[in-house]
Amino acid sequence: MAAYVTVGSTGFDELVRTVSTHEFLQALAGRGFSRLVVQCGYSVGLFKPPPTVSETFGITMESFDYTSWPQRLVDQADLIICHAGTGSILEALHSGKPTIAVVNRGLAGNHQNEVASELAAIGYLVVAEPRNLASVVAESTYASLRPYPRADPRPIGEVIDEETLL
């Protein structure tokens, strides 16, 4: 099984550091994952897993700053761990893959956290912070999430039609 970690278009130092810790990789291996792909954005230098961890846990790892084709990685993943930006969350939910949205407390006045916690309350995703990400993976609550409904933007077309028919 593969896990895909994505920080989106900027960076997220704490998340990238967290997913290279012994504790996190152990949790991942404990849930049966054998592959970890990390899109780091500008936090790219911070993915430094302990040297022997690959052999210890049997996880192959890959990291890069940006990718031109994230969809392929999303499709291949069995778990998506993304930063809690609205765009990333929507991409992850539409993919139908179990999603853990990681909140960045460092961003002040950020409404993204509202979206993540609201969606978590409905049961579409799991919210975590870098400091508890390993235990959230270990608990594997992500495995019993509700599927996110298919987006349907057609009502917007209908609203515009109504207004232009008047």
Partner 1 sequence: MIQLPSLSAVAAFIAAALLVRLYFVLPMFGRSSRALSSRRKGKAVARAQANKMLCVVLGSGGHTAEMMRLLQGVDFSRYTRRLYVVSDCDVLSLDQIGLVEGGRSIQNEEYYVGRVPRSRKVGQSWKSTPASFARCLLSVTSLLYNHRPDAILCNGPANCVVVGAVAMLLRIIGIKHIPVIYVESFARVHSLSLSGRILYLLADRFVVQWPGLVRKYPRAEYIPHLV
Contact residues: partner 1, CB under 8 A: 9, 85-87, 90, 111-112, 114-115, 118, 149-166
Q: Which of 95, 34, 43 is nearest to 70 (CA)?
A: 95
Closest CB to partner 1 among 110 and 132?
A: 110
Q: How far apart are CA 107 and CA 8, in angstroms?
A: 14
In angstroms, give the least distance from the CB of 112 to partner 1: 6
Closest CB to partner 1 among 41 and 49?
A: 41
In angstroms, give the least distance from the CB of 117 to partner 1: 8
DSSP string, 101-137: EEP-TTSTT-THHHHHHHHHHHTSSEEE-GGGHHHHH
Q: How far apart are CA 99 and CA 153, in angstroms?
A: 23
In angstroms, give the least distance from the CB of 26 to partner 1: 34
In angstroms, give the least distance from the CB of 86 to partner 1: 4
Cβ contacts of residue 143 below 8 Å, gap of 6+?
98
Closest CB to partner 1 among 55 and 111?
A: 111
Closest CB to partner 1 among 55 and 163?
A: 163
In angstroms, give the least distance from the CB of 41 to partner 1: 13
Task: Provide the 10 A C-beta neighbour count for residue 76.
Answer: 12
Closest CB to partner 1 among 27 and 127?
A: 127
